């Protein structure tokens, strides 16, 4: 081969490579060349609409501040209606996100006919990935249950959900709800002992959780029912881990797998604070959730193989940052309305004592109620009996009274009382995303789109509405 011929061929090769590079650089399907995310972290702030986000931002950082979730590169909006109502509850809302299909309010992990369907967690587990569930509520409550169990009614299925979480061998389970794993709820079977028998490390408080080093599977149950509010932890001397601490531990355990993982972590008590119109509590719970977002993002940045999606299952009480809201006064409150309700005293007829109403508002909310206002409070408690969560009608009324006094915006107590969801709304909620595949979260989505987008970008087989027994 002559020198001239070799030069011609080399020039041809260089030109061809250059042309191919130029074509690829200009190609609109560049994303196809990207690696799918190895891991997925789905962070759900229960009830966290735009109003709760703005309350937290204003209280914590002021008008020019920015939350960590707001820094994520991609943002979308999501509709939340259920199969039988234009306003969803947490069961149907969580199920739509988890399973990719609509179901009726109060249903978990089933279709509108009550037939069990697979969740995104099932799909990742079938792919050989580790899976985890975290909640600051009970692990058997609506949102975590939607990913790890299937029951026709959330109110009667707690014990069954606990058994299903065990049967599904979910690698990490952290949160409240320990009572549902005990003999009294499990027909004489100690379910925690069953977890231990199959290799789970178990923890009941923050210290025990920290002492668990590198278990293959982990169960942490830190309260008999709901975990304590952020506002009350100091007052009640809580030994419970925070949501960021639980999430960090879950990431340590799940990341031991070479195949990757799926983790759902829920900041559940934002919703509880919104139901009560407890604006101070909304601030504290949302900030703890946002700190969890920060923790997850910092962890993922070191790896660059993790998709993070941040959203809510619905909005609650039409919470808004009204212009007239007295932020300094609300920030001075240091316990929840639920804690305040427990400080009230009752007479021999089980009627709330007027003196205790005046005392509780003065000592804990720094509000001096008149006798007439205290009497009105007692009247409101009696007259506004809620369709759901009746045991909370006192603390909800305390919250509404404080919110009204400090001109904070939200739904009226009568709307909450008449609501089958305790005050949920149909307001769209924001979806934030970062990491590989996050660009797919764009525009106006439906809650059933979330699991389909995640599994598609992660290249995990998933067909909404199917159940593994049907395959």
Task: Identify the burial level of 346 via C-beta atoms within 10 angstroms of its C-beta, where 0-12 means exposed, 13-18 middle and 19 or more buried.
Answer: exposed
Nearest to 313 by CA among 150, 82, 8: 82
Task: Identify the burial level of 400 via C-beta atoms within 10 angstroms of its C-beta, where 0-12 means exposed, 13-18 middle and 19 or more buried.
Answer: buried
- Residue from 82, 90, 107, 159 carrying the catalytic annotation: 90
Nearest to 421 by CA among 275, 227, 229: 275
Strand (E) or helix (H) holding 240: none
For the beta carbon of residue 163, count every other beta carbon within 10 angstroms.
20
- 159: Cα separation from own chain's centroid: 21
- Alpha-carbon distance of 431 to 453, in angstroms, equals 12
For the beta carbon of residue 224, count every other beta carbon within 10 angstroms.
14
* DSSP-assigned states of every residue in 277-299: T-HHHHHHHHHHHHHHHHHHHHH
SS (H, E, C) 410-425: CCCHHHHHHCCCCCEE
- Alpha-carbon distance of 227 to 343, in angstroms, equals 19
In Å, how far are 200, 336, 423 from 80, measured between CA atoms? Answer: 35, 28, 14
Helix residue ranges, H only, 302-353: 327-331, 337-342
- Three-class SS state of 165: helix
Buried b / exposed e across 408-439, counting CB within 10 Å, b at 16+? bbbbebeebbebebbbbbebbbbbbbbbbbbe
Sign of the four-CA dihedral 57, 58, 63, 65: negative
For the beta carbon of residue 18, count every other beta carbon within 10 angstroms.
10
**Catalytic residue check, 90:** yes
- Contact call for residues 227 and 270 (beta carbons, < 8 A): no
- Alpha-carbon distance of 326 to 335, in angstroms, equals 17
Residues with a catalytic annotation lie at 90
């Amino acid at each position: 081969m002559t020198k001239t011929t070799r030069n011609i061929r080399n020039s041809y090769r260089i030109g061809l490579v250059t042309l191919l590079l130029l074509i690829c650089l200009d190609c609109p399907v560049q994303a196809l060349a990207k690696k799918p995310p190895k891991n997925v972290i789905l962070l759900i702030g229960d009830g966290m609409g735009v109003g709760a986000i703005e309350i937290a931002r204003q209280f914590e950082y002021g008008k020019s501040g920015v939350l960590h979730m707001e820094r994520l590169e991609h943002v979308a909006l999501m509709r939340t209606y259920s199969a039988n109502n234009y306003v969803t509850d947490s069961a149907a809302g969580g199920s739509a996100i988890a399973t990719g299909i609509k179901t009726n309010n109060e249903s978990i992990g089933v279709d509108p006919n009550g037939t069990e369907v697979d969740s995104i967690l099932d799909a990742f587990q079938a792919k050989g990935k580790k899976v985890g569930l975290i909640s600051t509520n009970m692990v058997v409550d609506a949102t975590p249950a939607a990913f790890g169990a299937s029951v026709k009614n959330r109110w009667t299925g707690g014990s069954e959900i606990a058994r299903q979480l065990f049967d599904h061998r979910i690698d990490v389970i952290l949160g409240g709800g320990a009572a549902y794993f005990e003999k009294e709820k499990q027909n004489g079977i100690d379910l925690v002992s069953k977890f231990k028998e199959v290799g789970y490390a178990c923890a009941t408080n923050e210290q025990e959780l920290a002492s668990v080093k590198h278990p293959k599977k982990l169960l942490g149950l830190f309260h008999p029912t709901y975990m304590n509010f952020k506002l009350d932890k100091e007052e009640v001397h809580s030994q419970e881990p925070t949501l960021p601490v639980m999430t960090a531990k879950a990431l340590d355990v799940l990341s031991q797998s070479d195949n990757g993982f799926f983790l759902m972590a829920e900041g559940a008590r934002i919703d509880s604070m919104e139901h009560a119109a407890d604006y101070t509590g909304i601030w504290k719970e949302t900030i703890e959730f946002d700190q969890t977002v920060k923790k997850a993002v910092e962890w993922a940045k070191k790896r660059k193989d993790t998709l993070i999606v941040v959203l809510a299952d619905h909005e609650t009480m039409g919470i808004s940052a009204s212009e007239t809201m007295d932020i300094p006064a609300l920030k001075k409150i240091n316990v929840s309305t639920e804690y305040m309700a427990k400080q009230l005293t009752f007479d021999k007829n089980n009627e709330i004592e007027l003196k205790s109403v005046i005392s509780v508002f003065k000592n804990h909310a720094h509000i001096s109620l008149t006798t007439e206002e205290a009497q009105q409070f007692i009247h409101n408690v009696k007259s506004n009996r809620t369709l759901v969560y009746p045991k909370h009608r006192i603390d909800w009324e305390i919250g509404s009274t404080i919110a009204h006094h400090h001109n904070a915006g939200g739904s009226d107590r009568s709307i909450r009382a008449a609501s089958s969801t305790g005050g949920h709304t149909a307001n769209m909620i924001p979806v934030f995303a970062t990491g590989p595949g996050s660009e797919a979260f764009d525009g106006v989505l439906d809650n059933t789109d979330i699991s389909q987008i995640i599994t598609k970008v992660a290249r995990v087989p998933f067909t909404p509405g199917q159940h593994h027994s049907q395959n």
